[in-house]
Amino acid sequence: MPRTEFIATGFHVPARLVTNDDLARLMDTSDEWITQRSGIKTRYWVSDGETGATLAREAACKALTKAGLEPGDLDCIVYCTCTPDHFEPGNGVFLQRELGISDIPAIDVRNQCSGFLYGLSVADAWIRTGAYRRILLVGAEVHSRGLDKTTRGRDTAVLFGDGAGAVVLGPTDDPRRGVLSVHLFADGRHAEKLWVDGPGLAHDPYVSEEMLQQGKHRAVMDGREVFKFASVLMPKSVDLALQANGLTPGDVTLLVPHQANLRIIEMVQKLAGLRPDQVYANIDRYGNTTAASIPIALDEALAAGRLRRGDLLILTAFGSGFTWASAAIRW
């Protein structure tokens, strides 16, 4: 049975750079307040005419170019997002249309910050079983249009950025390379600690003036609880990925975690027994791009020469649900 290899990566963010000082002009906050709590200095937000699908298209085209492939060479699209452009259909078909292709399957994965790793698990299974050979795995988000940019929403509005990351996956018969394992977890008891209540069909009507006035269509987060659980469960998932493959923290070349909060990333590094130089972080420049954060960081790390053939890459994420995940990959 073949393994799944990462053939090429790419990412794209909008041109509009938003600083902490920019946000301080919209709400009661400051550069110091945001930086101390999150490590974020800047993020990118979309402008008119940009959507999740257009960001995903740009990231996908960069990855395909590096892979020496055309959109028509793809067998399947796995699109990971928690900010779809429309209630339905899924964004995968809109990306497919942006790429000028048809007929191949396009599946959406809705697992928020863990979405890219959930999507990787799906794509890995399909490639290992021979269902598809060339899969485009994308994480793409447009948070900025759904944020409450007033003081009421500052706890979440300052955290999120827009962007897309893409990976072209394919089979390899080299037993020394590829995805070694992917590990997925969820605990729905904590769903309301980080969620968007509506619009939704649990409500009748599923959207109402009252809902909008109360801000239920905006993301709400219990920051302390999210920090507490993420700081414990992400390093545990790293340990599990290593143990499953008979590896130790010393074997890790690079950990690319979901970029949620710099304090969480530093906590994961310490509890997983890793050195700071074994961890890649770029949250200071992009903010939290949820499902896009890992592929964006991975593409940057590759461009910086942080990964070479034969290196051990570990990925880990934690997000709304709660969901969390990890993966071990031999580059």
Residues 191 and 109 in one domain: no
Strand, coil or helix: what is 169?
A: strand
Which pTM value belongs to this model? Answer: 0.96
Task: Give yes or no: residues 191 and 321 share one domain.
Answer: yes
Do both 96 and 183 map to the same domain? no
Report the pLDDT value the prediction gives residue 197, as an integer from 0 to 100.
81
- Confidence grade of residue 29 (pLDDT, cut at 50, 70, 90): very high
Q: Quick check: helix, strand or coil at residue 122?
A: helix
- pLDDT given for residue 329 in this prediction: 99
Residues 259 and 279 in one domain: yes
CA nearest 328: which of 313, 318, 316?
313
Nearest to 168 by CA among 4, 3, 1, 2: 4
pLDDT reported for residue 222:
85
> Are 129 and 221 in a shared domain?
no
Both 218 and 132 in one domain: the answer is no
**Per-residue model confidence as pLDDT tens digits over 253-290:** 999 999 999 999 999 999 999 999 999 999 999 999 99
pLDDT in tens, 151-201: 998 899 999 999 999 999 999 999 889 999 999 999 999 988 988 888 888
Residues 7 and 141 in one domain: yes
Which has the higher per-residue pLDDT, 161 or 220? 161
Q: Tell which wins on pLDDT, 15 or 206.
A: 15
Total domain count for the chain?
2
Residues that are catalytic: 113, 258, 288
Residues 75 and 150 in one domain: yes
At 65-84, the pLDDT tens digits run 999 999 999 999 999 999 99
Answer whether residue 203 shows pLDDT above 90: no
Domain closes at, from 146, 172, 198: 172
Give the residue from 172, 188, 218 where a domain finishes: 172
Question: What integer is the mean pLDDT of 2-28?
Answer: 98
**Same domain, residue pair 245 and 259:** yes
**Residue given tokens 């969620």 in the structure block:** 195
In the beta sheet, which residues pair with residue 195? 220
The CA distance from 211 to 208, in Å, is: 5
Of 172, 204, 234, the residue at which a domain comes to its end is 172
Exposure b/e, 279-293, CB count within 10 A at least 16 = b: bbbbbebbbbbbbbb
CATH number of the domain that residue 162 is part of:
3.40.47.10
Interval 117-129: pLDDT, tens? 999 999 999 999 9
pLDDT band at 206 (very low <50, low <70, confident <90, very high): confident
Confirm if 167 and 173 have CB atoms less than 8 A apart.
Answer: no
Look up the domain containing 75 and give its range.
3-172
Question: In degrees rounded to 5, what are phi and psi of residue 188?
Answer: -70, -5
One domain, residues 136 and 221: no
Exposed, middle or buried, 10 (CB in 10 Å: 0-12/13-18/19+)? buried
Question: How many other CB atoms sit within 10 Å of the CB of residue 264?
Answer: 23
Quote the pLDDT of residue 217.
84
Query: Are residues 118 and 40 part of one domain?
Result: yes
299-312 pLDDT, tens per residue? Answer: 999 999 999 999 99
Is the domain of 44 the same as that of 185? no
